[in-house]
Amino acid sequence: MSKFINPRLGRLETYVPGEQPKDQQYIKLNTNELPYPPSPEVIARVNAAQVADLRLYSDPTCGGLVEKLARQYDVAPENVFVGNGSDEVLNFAFACYCRAGAAFADLTYGFYGVFAELYGIDADIKPLRDDFSIDPADYMNVGKAVVIANPNAPTGLVLPVETIEAIVRSNPDHVVIIDEAYVDFGATSVVPLTKKYENLLVASTFSKSRALAGARVGFGIGNEALIRDLNRIKFTTNPYNINRLSLVAAEAALDSQAYFDEKDRLVAQTRASATAALRALGFETTDSMANFIFAKSDRIGGGDLYRQLKARGILVRHFDTARIKDFVRITVGTPAEMDALLGAINDILNSLD
């Protein structure tokens, strides 16, 4: 850090992304990417002509993509904001709506706490119950913004739509941000409720269910006044926030939704079989509706398991946080990748005997 940095910024704790080591080829089950490639349509449309067009700025309104998202989610284009990953949507939402503070879980997406610090927001941390479920009562009428990942990360647990609606209804003077990064793997979206409630903002992404993590495209859906707010921040920071190739890729992804629906179903099937196999090996797991499994063995700590899997060429995510240090979060890969994982875990457990 330089001596020139604003000391307040110099003290910020940064978000730590999952590792992306280059030293060898790993089976990568640590950052919740889809294990399947983007659709053939995406791969065909991002072509040499698109690269040649990179001399031109991208569309600052993301007009084509906004139109397609509006059609897909049955809302108006004025209800859609496109961000550089849903991280940017969340970033702008924290900037806009959390002056009175923000309530979110102790175990949830780590970036919420980082944004809260960045903007000097009072973080009202609500501990999950012992079984890692959210207690909805914690979020009723809280007098500040609410941020909930649904499904939550790293647990994969889901709140029913009616519960989210009750939380939104009980906080009419504050924005409730529902982060649906993992919704397409079996949960139900609350996007339809955005038509009914002016204080509901849904954040979502092309990074997980649409296999475009590297393209960095996310979106927010909400009342048109909320969308204007997010655009206000965008047009005061980075008007060309989505590059041309990513816009092309994301539009093509929406044109091949059937392909992704099939892959997402396959992930859900693989999640069920891998979860059953882990339970048969004595693991405790949450009932994840996301594309990851949150699992703990009483025979080996999470950190040890993470290290031993890495030594065998398999990356999973371990969080060194008191409440969940015994767990690992395992992204659902292909059936073959999960077989390799289960084989490795079996070996590791046998080596303990």
- Identify which of 36, 160, 177 has the alpha carbon closest to the alpha carbon of residue 97: 177
Cα-trace Rg, the chain: 20
CA distances from 90 to 116, 248, 316, 351 (A): 11, 23, 25, 44
User: Of residues 35, 38, 85, 220, which one binds ligand PMP by CB under 6 A?
Assistant: 85
Contact between 97 and 174 (Cβ < 8 Å) = yes
User: Of residues 33, 138, 179, 326, which one binds ligand PMP by CB under 6 A?
Assistant: 179
Give the type of residue at 122.
D
Nearer to ligand PMP, 89 or 300 (CB): 89
Other C-beta atoms lying within 10 Å of the C-beta of residue 213: 16
Contact status: 243 vs ligand PMP (CB under 6 A): no
As measured in angstroms, the least distance from the Cβ of 45 to ligand PMP is 21
As measured in angstroms, the least distance from the Cβ of 10 to ligand PMP is 25
Contact status: 213 vs ligand PMP (CB under 6 A): yes
- Residue nearest ligand PMP (C-beta atom): 85
Contact status: 207 vs ligand PMP (CB under 6 A): yes
Contact status: 215 vs ligand PMP (CB under 6 A): no
Tell me the DSSP string of 208-259: STTS-GGG--EEEEE-HHHHHHHHHHHHHH-TT-S-HHHHHHHHHHHHTHHH
Q: Three-state DSSP class for 80?
A: strand
Size of the site for ligand PMP (CB under 6 A): 12
Other C-beta atoms lying within 10 Å of the C-beta of residue 22: 6
Task: Please give the structure tokens belonging to residue 194.
Answer: 């955005």
User: Of residues 104, 109, 197, 260, which one binds ligand PMP by CB under 6 A?
Assistant: 109
User: Of residues 205, 285, 286, 331, which one binds ligand PMP by CB under 6 A?
Assistant: 205
Contacts of 29 by beta carbon, 8 Å cutoff, 6+ apart: 314, 315, 316, 330, 331, 332, 333, 337, 341
Nearer to ligand PMP, 97 or 109 (CB): 109
As measured in angstroms, the least distance from the Cβ of 352 to ligand PMP is 31
Contact between 222 and 79 (Cβ < 8 Å) = yes
User: Of residues 218, 220, 222, 333, which one binds ligand PMP by CB under 6 A?
Assistant: 218
The stretch among 4-12, 85-93, 245-253, 335-343 that binds ligand PMP (CB under 6 A) is 85-93
As measured in angstroms, the least distance from the Cβ of 32 to ligand PMP is 6
Q: Residues in the site for ligand PMP, rule: CB under 6 A?
A: 85-87, 109, 149, 153, 179, 181, 205, 207, 213, 218
